[in-house]
Amino acid sequence: MFKYIVKRLLLAILILFGVSIILYVLIRCMPSNFLRDQYIQARANYGVDTSSEEAKAQLERELNGILAPYGLADDSFWGIIKGYFMWLGRFLKGDMGISFQHQNAPVQTVIGKYMWLSFGISFVALLLEMAIAIPLGVKCAVNQYGKLDYVATVLCMVGIAFPSFFLGNLFIKWFAVDLGWFETHGLTSGIMGSEFEIFIDKIWHLILPMTVMVLLSIGGLMRYTRTNTLEVLNADYIRTARAKGLSEGKVVYKHVFRNTMIPLVTQLSFTLPTLFGGAMITEQVFDLPGIGNIAYKALLNGDVFLAMGYNMFLAVLTVVGILFADVMYAVVDPRVKLGK
């Protein structure tokens, strides 16, 4: 297993190196005047004088001073090549730069501050999704072409077809505007009270976005589970288990379910970037201060360091998730030998 993990780690490093090059090139394609204008606007939002040309020139020099240590100030060919290794070297040391939008705070601090809200929402949504979709998929496969199978399949296909922004705005219209049960946006109502009351208020604000995430995710996982379960049900060892006189419950939950989990491990491994990376569109619709929404605003506002740091953060999580899935194969499938 050690030899296998080392090989996968070396491949992961190569993948991350390629991702970093692509990301750096895309960021360098942004016009310098756009970065300048966005930086001046960001400083103006924090009360810095930007009315005179002298003040703007000073802010431009300040921006160049910030970009230079990371190799982003020189737009020549060799400057770009040199700049990439300067930026990569600082990134490997844990220095991701500063965020213009957040009073020049370190990018790693901004990510650490806002990712936990996204993690909490995504983690609870994932647990609910798995608790509903996996048993439902197994049940539909066992009762193939039954009423439950047809109804669940139709509802899941409808859920898959809905875009998150469309369903999110529908829920806001129905449950927040028309019925007045929830707030239309934000994380708090600005109430004054105990910490417990504020906590409950935040949970109440998160019900709609979590419901949207769960409903939109159930369909794909349920269909995937149903398909895998049907393949296992038609296997020879399942017919042998039934021929030995095992009850249908033991056949399904002892033999079928465990083997169904093997391909599900691959799909669930890709949820790691989602857990910490946030649901960008859903957070934007409900105006939640999660890392997905913050990163989206960083892309719009030319906050280059936050955009680069966030995307490299997602790349690392994706590679770690895939590595975790490969290792977990040995846990759920004894036929897999990682040492070979």
The string of pLDDT tens digits covering residues 111-146 is 999 989 888 898 998 889 888 988 888 888 888 888
Compute the distance between CA of residue 176 and CA of residue 208 in angstroms, rounded to an integer: 9
Same domain membership, residue 141 and residue 156? yes
The pLDDT, as a whole number, for residue 21 is 92
* 243-256: pLDDT as tens digits: 888 777 777 777 77
Domain range for 221: 108-332
Same domain membership, residue 31 and residue 138? no
Same domain membership, residue 144 and residue 214? yes
The pLDDT, as a whole number, for residue 337 is 58
Same domain membership, residue 65 and residue 149? no
Compute the distance between CA of residue 340 and CA of residue 334 in angstroms, rounded to an integer: 13
Last residue of a domain, one of 81, 106, 131: 106
Same domain membership, residue 193 and residue 276? yes
Residues of the chain with pLDDT under 70: 1, 262-263, 265-267, 269, 329-340
Same domain membership, residue 225 and residue 131? yes
> Which residues lie closer than 8 Å to 54 by C-beta, 6 or more apart?
none
The pLDDT, as a whole number, for residue 18 is 92
Same domain membership, residue 160 and residue 69? no
Same domain membership, residue 112 and residue 10? no
Structure tokens belonging to residue 249: 């419950």
Same domain membership, residue 144 and residue 292? yes
In a domain, 337, yes or no: no
Q: Are 293 and 283 in contact (CB under 8 A)?
A: yes
Domains in the chain, number: 2
Q: Are 114 and 294 in contact (CB under 8 A)?
A: yes
Q: Crossing angle for the helix pair 304-332 and 2-28, nearest 10 degrees?
A: 160
Same domain membership, residue 151 and residue 18? no
The pLDDT, as a whole number, for residue 77 is 81
Compute the distance between CA of residue 322 and CA of residue 238 in angstroms, rounded to an integer: 30
Same domain membership, residue 211 and residue 181? yes
In a domain, 302, yes or no: yes
* Measured torsion, CA atoms of residues 89, 90, 94, 98, in degrees rounded to the nearest 10: -150
Last residue of a domain, one of 106, 134, 169: 106
- Cβ neighbours of 324 (radius 10 Å): 13
Angstrom distances, CA of residue 243 to CA of 158, 238, 254:
39, 9, 15
Distance from CA of residue 7 to its chain's centroid? 26
Q: Are 221 and 267 in contact (CB under 8 A)?
A: yes
